[in-house]
Chains A and B, each alone.
Chain A
Amino acid sequence: MTEILRSERPADGPLALLVATKKGAFVLRADAERREFALEGPHFLGHIVNHLVLDRRDRRTLLCAARTGHLGPTIFRSDDLGRSWKEASKPPAFPASDPAGRAVKHVFWLEPASAAEPGVWYAGVSPQALFRSEDAGDTWSSVASFNDHPRWFDWTGKGQDGTPDGSILHSINVDPRDPRHLYVGLSSGGVFECVSEGRDWRPLNGGLFADFNPEPYPEFGQDPHCMRLHPLAPDVLWQQSHCGIYRIERPGERWERVGDHMPRAVGDIGFPITLHPRDPRTAWVFPMDGTQVWPRTSPDGRPSVYVTRDAGASWRRQDAGLPRERAWLTVLRQSMTADAHDPVGLYFGTTCGELWASRDEGASWSRLRSHLPHVYAVEAAELDA
């Protein structure tokens, strides 16, 4: 029986979209009907911004993971929703004594910890490592239980195997019932679970296919593109991986390939997966062409979101308002998100700088913006008045 937690206090202010791009960060503030979105920014023009995230516990603090093509990685912090920024005084970095000489190449994923730990954040970086801040993102420390785990070099392929931008730790999911119980995704490496009250980690990759591996169902080494834990049903996790769409209910140990129920001509390859904020049986994906050399664009040039409302047993195409043909969009793993409204609003950004929105749970789509830089991440931020 899936445990359903109570929803957190709803926000009483406007919705904002936090958009991270290859050339800076943007904030789009919505009106009450979510029809008009006012663009603010760019913040940090010229910086590669991998993630811009609101602290959903105070609904005021923003963290921004940034670097340039030349300067090292850092984190900027704002406690007034982006009106002013301060740089972290100690950004994520391995200890100078690290025997392997590891260095953080970039910060990829930012995640507030649970409500039980106000001010605590996690950061996933390249190479695949986890960092923790206990002062709202000002100073960061290596999570030694993972980064110095005796099997880290096995799990991560020595930190070498990864995406074209480098190997990454992403999809940091914190169990709202236990702040020491985390799940993370490694690209590559697979899914890992923090156990033993935060002291140890283990792979959680049962049933996950890896068509790029000599052993198709290895203990680790998979490539989970995006993994989401349902906030109200924290035993339910979904993932869009390099090799399909999967769902698991803990304490189960095997992921079920629910993407097998997608239309065969579309397939179940993609980057992002987005969950309904209240219904753990509903999820949305944005399929891409994963055939041959992996174009990573919309299959057949016909972009569409797909939704399941029955835990992956069936999927329905949702393309009303999207280009009907000759559109080769790419939506990266952090670039599709849902708000907490009813009906749920969905949003995605493309690598060609478009931002799309649906106010009716994907039934229809409209383009909010064109001509932004290459979009890396979109977050829906519920603000207080």
Chain B
Amino acid sequence: MKVKIATPLLSYTGAREVEAEGDSIGALLDDLERRYPGLRFRLVDEQSRIRPHMRIFVNREAVRGLDASLEPGDDVQILQALSGG
């Protein structure tokens, strides 16, 4: 499925939209890590918690954990909240 990537992660993917597979957000992030080493830890901490300012949307609905399931053709967006200075 296609995954839209936040611009701060472009140094890993080189593109705003990439292909990845998985039947859950966790599996999808594992696949992204295989394709783009280092990306997952910038997005998710070692206890598998999505970092505070990062947001993942599936079909425009926010997901809070990595166990959210995915279906083929789902629209996944990884975005970054606006904050800081």
Contact = CB atoms under 8 A, between A and B. Distances in A.
Nearest to A142: B46
A98 B80 CA distance: 27
Contacts of B37: 87, 89
Interface SS, A side: loop
Contact of B51 (A70, A91, A96): A70
Contacts of A70: 8, 51-54, 80-81, 83-84
Given A93-B46, A96-B46, A103-B47, A72 B84 contact: no
B59 interface: no
A74 B51 contact: no
Contacts of A69: 53, 83-84
A246 interface: no
B41 A91 contact: yes
A94 interface: yes
A72 B43 contact: yes
Nearest to B6: A70
A93 B40 CA distance: 13
Interface SS, B side: loop
B57 to A, nearest CB: 16
B56 interface: no
Contact of B9 (A71, A93, A103, A104): A71
A71 B37 CA distance: 15
Interface-centre pick from B38, B53, B81, B84 (highest chain A CB count, 10 A): B38
Contacts of A93: 41, 45-46
A68 to B, nearest CB: 6
Contacts of B46: 93-96, 98, 103-104
Interface in A40-92: 68-72, 74, 87, 89, 91
A343 B49 CA distance: 51
Contact of A71 (B43, B48, B49, B83): B43
A96 B38 contact: no
A164 interface: no
A34 B13 CA distance: 41
Interface string B14-56: 0000000000000000000000011001111111110111100
Contacts of B51: 70-72
A210 B43 CA distance: 38
25 contacts: A68-B8, A69-B53, A69-B84, A70-B53, A70-B54, A70-B81, A71-B8, A71-B9, A72-B43, A72-B44, A72-B45, A72-B51, A74-B42, A87-B37, A87-B38, A89-B38, A93-B41, A93-B45, A93-B46, A94-B46, A95-B46, A96-B47, A96-B48, A102-B47, A103-B47
Interface of A: 68-72, 74, 87, 89, 91, 93-96, 98, 101-104
Give 10 nearest A-B pairs by CB, closest first: A69-B84, A93-B46, A70-B53, A103-B45, A71-B42, A72-B42, A87-B38, A101-B47, A70-B80, A72-B41
